[in-house]
Amino acid sequence: MNCLIVDDNKIARTTLKQLASQVKNITIVGECANAMEAYNMLQEQPVDVLLLDIEMPGMTGLELTRNLGNKSPIIIFTTSKKDYAAEAYDLNVVDYVVKPITPARFVQAIDKAREAFQSLSEEVKMSDDAFIFIRDSNIVKRLSIDEILYIEAMGDYVKIYTAKRFYAIHTTMKLVEQRLPAMRFLRVHRSYIVAIEKIDTIQEGALIVGGKPVPVADAYRSALNKRMNIL
């Protein structure tokens, strides 16, 4: 994977380069001292992973991520503060690492990025009500419908979540909703489809599916209430 380091602190950039040099199949293709410099570089040289600081002069790492939108690489935030974690994960970053970064924590973040990178190359084909077939290069993987917890929209991709991992598929929510068995799955938000039998609890404004919260939009609440067998 090709990585770009973005941090206004030169020592932090050097530390990240040293950590990356110890991990196989990671290539640092450049480093930027601010977010605007990184934004301009990404217009000319797309990369796979951004190692991105948050608090920088001018544009912050959070603002850069929003500006990149659907064209954003896989992002690992590297920051000295924990304060932005919730906001960062709302932007679908793959990890949030607090400085000082240990080699073990760096490897953990890179492993998450590698899994996401591999998932982005996969395509999905729906079969009958029992399986989804996911194509990764020339290998077709079969995913049982029973394993799916929920599906989340992510720009030009959707994430299909199971208990063990997620698959990032280049398709649309509309197509996925059409292909999934309607008796087992329900749209509860513009960005979320859930497996009805995987719902653990229903709380105000959210469902708990596989231990994770999934928001319910007001426009879909009536349909949800009709489908649930509530005593």
Q: Note whether 99 and 78 are within 8 A (CB).
A: yes
Model pLDDT, residue 219: 83
> Which residue carries 């998932």 as its tokens?
119
- Domains defined for the chain, CATH in brackets: 2-119 (3.40.50.2300), 121-227 (2.40.50.1020)
| Residues 198, 150, 67: CA angle, nearest 5 degrees | 155
Q: For 31-41, what is each residue's pLDDT tens digit?
A: 999 999 999 99
> Is residue 139's pLDDT more than 60?
no
Residues 6 or more apart whose CB falls under 8 angstroms from that of 34 comprise 6, 8, 56, 57, 58, 59
The chain-wide mean pLDDT, for the chain, equals 85
DSSP state of 53: -
Does pLDDT of 101 surpass 90?
yes
Which amino acid type is present at position 161? Y
Above 70 in pLDDT, residue 137?
Answer: no
Can you state the percent helix, strand and coil of the chain, rounding each to 5? 35, 35, 30
| pLDDT band at 138; cut points 50, 70, 90 | very low
Judge whether 33 and 11 are in contact, CB under 8 Å. no
Query: Which residue blocks in 69-213 are alpha helix, DSSP H?
Result: 85-90, 103-120, 173-179
Region 153-182: mean pLDDT is 82
Q: What percentage of the chain exceeds 90 in pLDDT?
A: 48
pLDDT at residue 14 in the model: 96
**Opening angle at CA 33, ends 15 and 65, nearest 5:** 100
Q: 69 in the Ramachandran plot: left (φ > 0), alpha (ψ -120 to 50) or beta?
A: left
Q: What is the spatial distance between Cα 137 and Cα 227, in angstroms, rounded to a whole number?
A: 38
| pLDDT surpasses 70 at 129 | no
Retrieve residue 60's tokens: 């912050």
Of 29-33, 111-115, 166-170, which has the strongest mean pLDDT? Answer: 29-33
Query: Which pLDDT value is given to residue 176?
Result: 83
Given a cut of 70, whether residue 84 has pLDDT beyond it is yes
At residue 51, φ and ψ (nearest 5 deg) are: -95, 100
Of the listed ranges 28-32, 143-147, 201-205, the least confidently predicted one is 201-205
**Distance from first CA to last CA of the chain, Å, rounded?**
51
> Tell me: the pLDDT tens digits for 13-69?
999 999 999 999 899 999 999 999 999 999 888 899 999 999 999 999 999 998 887
Radius of gyration of the chain (CA): 19
3-class secondary structure, 79: strand
Q: What is the pLDDT of residues 4-15, one digit of tens each?
A: 999 999 999 999
Query: Which region among 82-86, 142-146, 171-175 has the lowest average model confidence (pLDDT)?
Result: 171-175
Q: Per-residue pLDDT averaged across 210-222, rounded? A: 87
Q: What is the pLDDT of residue 27?
A: 93
Q: Which two tokens stand for residue 221?
A: 């609440």
